Structure 1
Amino acid sequence: MYEQLKIYCTHIVPLTDQELDLIETHFDPVTIKKKGFLLEEGKACPFIVFIAKGIIRHFHTKDGIEKTCDISFENSWVTDFESFNNSTASKMNLQALEETTAFVIRKEALLNLYKACSKYETLGRLMAEQVAQRATGIAMSLSSEKPAERFNNLIKNQPDLLQKVPQKYIANFLGISPESLSRIRSRMLPNRKS
């Protein structure tokens, strides 16, 4: 059951079998049903999650309108770092777009894992750097690229995105209307097939 997480971790940091066994005593497997919430805004986020299978949409609500900030797929880490680090109310929601299998590590278990094996501190730092780089990339894309460029980069990095994620969430993530996304798709996708 933990095999995918163990493979991922050893790909990032070399770990012995004994060090890998610590995963099973510190992470808890969870299944989130489609449209179920891993985290809801207003609640503290006491965990970091590894997505083994499925899709998680990150969004917040402003003036009653949902704003998609990111969409995470398998072999990704998700959390609300601000809430996790400061034990404050989360400003975002983490919602499964399909049935999702994940592994959760709570803050206390994470600190115990760091004490048990310093290699996990390195893994934690590298994971946090990846999350920060992704957030920076999204911010730069939104500020400097045209919607068509953002869409092209999105489907280049996640080719099955269009089959797995509703168009309204993709459009929202790109900062455009679903109608604009339809126009971009019809212009670009025939070009990608040739």
Structure 2
Amino acid sequence: MDPDVFKNIRKKVLSYTHVDQPQLEDALRFYDVITLSKGERLISEGDMVNFFYYLDSGCISYYKMEEGEQKVLEFYTQDVFFTDLIAYVKGVPSQCYLEALEPSVILAVRKDRAEKSFETSHQLERFGRLSMQEAFLKLFHRVDRTNNRSNEERYLRILHKRPDLLQRVPQYLIASYLGITPVGLSKLRKRLGKG
């Protein structure tokens, strides 16, 4: 396997906290490399979620189905740790989907192996805690933005913070992410002079 596939995750782990090189390499040997084609699912509703993931490249949609409609909760793009947190932490079947919107390379570590590495290294335990906190905070901020910002504010935030999504993700999924219809998104873009 190409050792460079771990280059980005090494940098990401070290961005959280210092980890001695031997401990980091020992932990990384438990990660599996997963490649997904566009449209392929990493998790489906009803699956048990026993892995924490790092997205090395690509784009993943995190969504659930409500009354036959796809409700996008988040888009994950390269250099981020992610999973279905609720199912992962509680040990219950997922109510969501994780699906590749473009060819993606993912590194996956099984929950029991991650926890074992945390037991053997305070540095790795600190990394695990901080990466999990970051994932929970992203989820909390997403809910907060959805509940406390207008459609226009949420769209402008994407334009400012994540403009690449508008090129990588179909507009109907952007609309779902914003909590509006595709027609509503089209009208919003026209009103703002963006469409």
The aligned residue for residue 63 of structure 1 is 67
TM-score of the superposed pair, with normalisation by structure 1: 0.93
The sequence identity of aligned pairs, in percent, is 24
TM-score (norm 2): 0.92
Distance 2:21 2:129 in 1: 21
Which of 115, 127, 132 does residue 119 from structure 2 map onto? 115
Q: How far apart in 2 are the matches of 1:22 and 1:156?
A: 39
Q: Is 1:170 aligned to residue 174 of structure 2?
A: yes
* 1:85 equivalent in structure 2: 89
Structure 1 runs (4+) greater than 3 angstroms displaced: none
Q: Which stretches in structure 2 are left out of the alignment for 5+ residues?
A: none
Question: 8 Å contact 2:45–2:93 — kept in the other structure?
Answer: yes
CA offsets per residue over residues 46-96 of structure 1, 9 Å max, x none?
A: 100000101111111112211111111111111122222232110110001
Return the match for 1:105 from 103, 106, 109.
109
1:49 aligns with 2:50: no
In 2: Cα distance, 1:117 partner to 1:187 partner: 54
Task: Tell whether 2:29 aligns with 1:25.
Answer: yes
C-alpha distance in 1, partners of 2:192/2:128? Answer: 38
Instruction: Assess, with a 3 A threshold, how the Cα gap between structure 1 residues 24 and 127 changes in structure 2: closer, same or farther.
Output: closer
Distance 1:144 1:85, change over 3 A: closer
Please say which of residues 122-131 and 15-24 is displaced more in the overlay: 15-24
C-alpha deviation, 1:189, in angstroms: 4.8
Aligned-residue CA RMSD (Å): 1.5
Tell me which residue corresponds to 2:155: 151
Letter in 1 for 2:100: A
Q: Is the 8 A contact 1:26 1:113 kept in 2?
A: no
Question: CA-to-partner distance for each residue in 1:102-132, whole Å, 9 max, x for gaps?
Answer: 1000012112211232211111111111111
2:80 corresponds, among 76, 82, 87, to: 76
Q: Which residue, out of 131, 134, 137, partners 1:133?
A: 137
User: In the alignment, is the contact (CA less than 8 A) between 1:41 and 1:91 conserved in 2?
Assistant: yes
**Secondary structure at 1:26 match in 2:** coil
Corresponding residue of 1:95: 99
Q: Secondary structure in 1 aligned to 2:166?
A: helix
| Contact 2:24–2:124 (CA under 8 A) maintained in structure 1 | no
- Structure 1 residues not aligned, in runs of 5+: none
Q: Select the residue among 164, 167, 183 that pairs with 1:179.
A: 183
